[in-house]
Structure 1
């Protein structure tokens, strides 16, 4: 049994994780510890405070006692708003405190895009324009070309968590571009685990979503590979050799 640990802010789309665990159909356990969401707002200052490295370490001991082999900060905006260097420091602090490999959803998007060979990506964000723009900048810092950033501003994670599949599909469709190799949907408060095959069929290309890449990143850190077609192209492709 491979146990993977996740620090998840608040209570929005955490039910994606037991669904993903079931879809993995393997000897993998996904353990969540909920961190303090604080003010539920998509303001940059609030998001930076939510991802404060010291605050994240409070849930680490519980995951360590549960036997986690790797840990991921399951919040996209709580990582990239610190910039590339700040997000790296956040992860280093988490790894040092936990005594195990650590990462965050922000880095998971970059690693997952590389895994499927997507060099050009379109961003479909349920963030205000300024926050969505920071995510685009983070991806560029990670070596990806961003064809465009489309935002459908939502004020809170609770608002995003209430979105139906049709709204997620419409967001992805609006963001897609002919020259994009993949579409990225960066919000762990969005329920996407159940609709990944439908999204990819609709767009005709890989779709990477926050909770999907978060789990994949934890598996990568634990040196596990699981074939799970119901979780999209990311979980079916052979690894791309970067040159």
Structure 2
């Protein structure tokens, strides 16, 4: 077999991923889902939860530039920014366009991927289940609604209200608590539930939640991986990971 130019294990694609420093869930969930011949290569970047202010966006862009240039040296087919809060930048393609301009590699990011996932499923009205505090939930609601997604309900866990040092607790939320939290977030009229935050574990729950709720359940990690694989030209259906990863 002729090998790809960058090694024996990446015959189909090589994905680069940028995550916040405390994130321990994103790469763990992706590693469970990657199709054969697709490899993952990860770096960590400071957390940027405020991309709405001029100073916040400037800091985000400075860090993004240095980290995509570093990852680009590994010759990925796609680079993903795996942070929901940090990628809520409007207009929706601004951040990913900047990433690609910096390094010449196609790019995806979590918040835009959530919007694209809802659109790909043919839906427009969602409920949000997050680990976040109220201010960050409101920021996400505004981002989604600015991009044509109606948010009919939100339910958070309040993590981060006492400062960024709390965010390490997100990955520690037990799966049973996540499951109950998502069920409680459902509201009448919602076409889907979005589970927000790439450090909020939910992968083993997605299929069961969809069955229990009778509607799609889309997580940050699922949506970002879906977007990255599709951008790399890979449309494999991935079983037991929610409806989104069954569509091309």
TM-score tier after normalising by the smaller chain length:
0.7 to 0.9
Q: Which residue of 66, 79, 92 corresponds with 2:87? A: 79
* Aligned 8 A contact 2:51 2:57 in 1: no
- Kindly report which structure 2 residues correspond to 1:1-243, keeping only aligned pairs within 5 A, or say none: 1-14=12-25, 16-37=26-47, 48=56, 52-80=60-88, 82=89, 84-85=90-91, 88-155=93-160, 156-237=166-247, 239=248
For residues 8 and 134 of structure 1, the distance between their equivalents in structure 2, rounded to whole angstroms, comes to 20
Deviations 1:86-123 (A, max 9, x none): x6433222111120211210000000111111211111
For residues 166 and 18 of structure 1, the distance between their equivalents in structure 2, rounded to whole angstroms, comes to 18
State TM-score, norm by structure 2.
Answer: 0.84
Moved more, 148-157 or 225-234: 148-157
In structure 2, the CA distance between the partners of 1:43 and 1:168, relative to structure 1 (3 Å rule), is farther
* Aligned 8 A contact 1:13 1:191 in 2: no
Alignment partner of 2:203: what SS? coil
* Aligned 8 A contact 1:71 1:102 in 2: yes
For residues 111 and 158 of structure 1, the distance between their equivalents in structure 2, rounded to whole angstroms, comes to 28
Structure of larger gyration radius: 2
Say what the alpha-carbon RMSD is for the aligned residues.
Answer: 2.4
Which blocks of at least 5 consecutive residues in structure 2 are unaligned? 1-11, 161-165
For residues 33 and 52 of structure 1, the distance between their equivalents in structure 2, rounded to whole angstroms, comes to 15
Higher relative contact order, structure no. (Cα contacts within 8 Å, ≥ 6 residues apart): 1
Post-superposition offset of 1:18 = 4.3
Which blocks of at least 5 consecutive residues in structure 1 are unaligned? none
Post-superposition offset of 1:189 = 1.1
In structure 2, the CA distance between the partners of 1:185 and 1:19, relative to structure 1 (3 Å rule), is closer
* Aligned 8 A contact 2:51 2:86 in 1: no
* Aligned 8 A contact 2:127 2:187 in 1: yes
* Aligned 8 A contact 2:222 2:245 in 1: no
* Aligned 8 A contact 2:126 2:193 in 1: yes
